[in-house]
Structure 1
């Protein structure tokens, strides 16, 4: 099977969509699937060389926030017949509309991964942006979804929430599992190397946040909550790792200063490769009090490293985490985040070890990327019969 995955950008700072493409690459190859990537990046974009994907067609540069590039549509029309199917990664940018236009009247089906971009949280939080999307929806994204062979969601919660954003909605829905690959096995070595590069963390009980520094991730909630529990143990330290795309980190750092915890919070920026895995292994617990999270690959990565996860019930895999007792779940509020931290701190050594084991088991049974790849091939394969 030959697949073309079309995405607005392969920049790793884009978060979930490109990370999902990367995670699927190896298991799809093992299943005999050949994958190429088309994106709207400029051919000289600095992140292309290190994106870790074998065949990337950079058809930009893109214009404005819509990621429009005039090269994409003719390229798709010329090259789509080489593929059994095309997968659109994400919504609200030009690449989805271009795929629909290019494949209209052809025998090549396309599929859409929404990556949580139909979550009603956006409607309630940004009503003016939602109104702007409504102006585009009837002739744009609605038709992209309507004409797709299937619209693929990464969990049942995401599928149900997607129906609440726009009353004009029609799609052939499918659900696949999602997740990540197994982490490196030399966890102790990676943790020690990471701690050597971050001496302020040595001897600390690390609470790890690893995601984009942005409003929907609940970073401000975590700072407030951490300030309330920090006095319980002088060795507690909060590690806020992730790219700051909006300049919000300075505001958050000022918040930490006002709360009196500035010296107990570290901001290493975006962590990748061994540094990322070293942070996971060095941490005692992972915390993501997000207001909206389609899946949360970082949650699966934490579980894979045996780390209990403290998440909000707006992370769409919260039911699975709660069912497997692989962490603690509460509301996306300061009080909810405090309760999660307190429940973790109340664990004794044997209780923590048991939860750590359940975290690894939860990952292996639910969120290993191999399961998602097999399901994705099944969804596409069924449509080709």
Structure 2
């Protein structure tokens, strides 16, 4: 309401851990000043489906101007859009990578028929489609949907993310990394999709240079274990600092301590971890398949790092040059410039302002 916008959040309790289950179901409750509706999901469904949500939805959204939805491939999606259409409420649908080539490669025998039979119709009847980056915009253009698309990046909570020289010193001391050693970072879930299998050869070719690798996150499919095993085979185990998943509020110290985030992902719809790292002045080396990559190439300060094809030779050449520059000149001022730019473009406050302007634009469309 501070910005003249009244927001209701409508969702289910599907997938919420027992300890975190909302106390009030099928009714509105206030969370941080926002009215949130948690509806009981149907226990006989393996998806986020709720008959109670569909029953109450016409009354809950009555009088709304715009429905910002994210429900592609979800059984609730078409039903929700139909109810919105019956009340002449415009729908702004977030794609969230659901229409990427990588997504269609997962169970294509189910997705393509469902897309042509159900999803495409409702996507073409949206007032607009929400994409978080240029990559995602390009991905949906190949499908020739008739609804216009608008770019709005993910809003990232950067309240605790900023350059902190003292945090850098203390954290590196705790990790036993001296100031003359570049600290590489892999942060987030460890999965085949993240392309970690591309890194052992890269790191092996830099065996003659000083560096350490900080590995933070949960191994979901053995990708993290495979990376560590490969590095062990070439006697690089002593270069690895392995940490479990760390709470978001505590990550800032590790981003500050690190010098280069590595993300050779096969597909990343946006890449929140990239923005979090940049907000602390940590440079990034990412694949073009990372959603935010084109935006960074077009608009970020040159010191952001690099976006390189998933070709180990390109990465090896760039990394060796980067390390040589780092060892000769690693000014703190460039980190602060990078962090400031990131906050001005990707913080929750900055994106919220852009979202309000975009909502007005959509509502003014005939």
Superposed CA offset, 1:301-340 (max 9, x none): 1111111111112223323433431212211233333234
Which stretch has the larger CA shift, 210-219 or 198-207?
198-207
**8 Å Cα contact 2:94/2:129 also seen in 1:** yes
Match of 1:287 in 2: 262
Cα separation, partners in 2 of 1:37 and 1:225, compared to 1, 3 Å: farther
Match of 1:367 in 2: 346
What TM-score, normalized to structure 1? 0.77
Indicate whether 1:304 and 2:279 are aligned. yes
Give unpaired runs (5+ residues) of structure 2. 23-29
SS in 2 for 1:147: coil
Match of 2:77 in 1: 96
Distance in 1 (alpha carbons) for counterparts of 2:277 and 2:91? 32
RMSD in angstroms over aligned alpha carbons?
3.2
Which stretch has the larger CA shift, 303-312 or 327-336?
327-336
Indicate whether 1:268 and 2:238 are aligned. no
Which aligned pairs between 1:1-385 and structure 2 lie closer than 5 A? 32-41=5-14, 45-48=18-21, 54=32, 55=36, 57-60=38-41, 66-81=47-62, 83-89=64-70, 91-123=72-104, 126=105, 129-164=107-142, 166=143, 169-184=145-160, 185=162, 187-188=164-165, 190-191=167-168, 194=171, 199=175, 205-233=182-210, 236-323=211-298, 324-325=301-302, 326-348=304-326, 349-350=328-329, 353=332, 355-385=334-364
Distance in 1 (alpha carbons) for counterparts of 2:46 and 2:166? 41
Superposed CA offset, 1:138-174 (max 9, x none): 233223312222111122332122223x46x332212
Distance in 2 (alpha carbons) for counterparts of 1:304 and 1:288? 16
SS in 1 for 2:156: coil
Cα separation, partners in 2 of 1:238 and 1:39, compared to 1, 3 Å: farther
Cα separation, partners in 2 of 1:171 and 1:243, compared to 1, 3 Å: farther
**8 Å Cα contact 2:196/2:223 also seen in 1:** no
The size of the alignment, in residue pairs, is 348
Which stretch has the larger CA shift, 81-90 or 293-302?
81-90
Cα separation, partners in 2 of 1:86 and 1:120, compared to 1, 3 Å: same
What TM-score, normalized to structure 2? 0.81
Question: How many angstroms does 1:363 deviate by?
Answer: 1.2
Give unpaired runs (5+ residues) of structure 1. 2-28
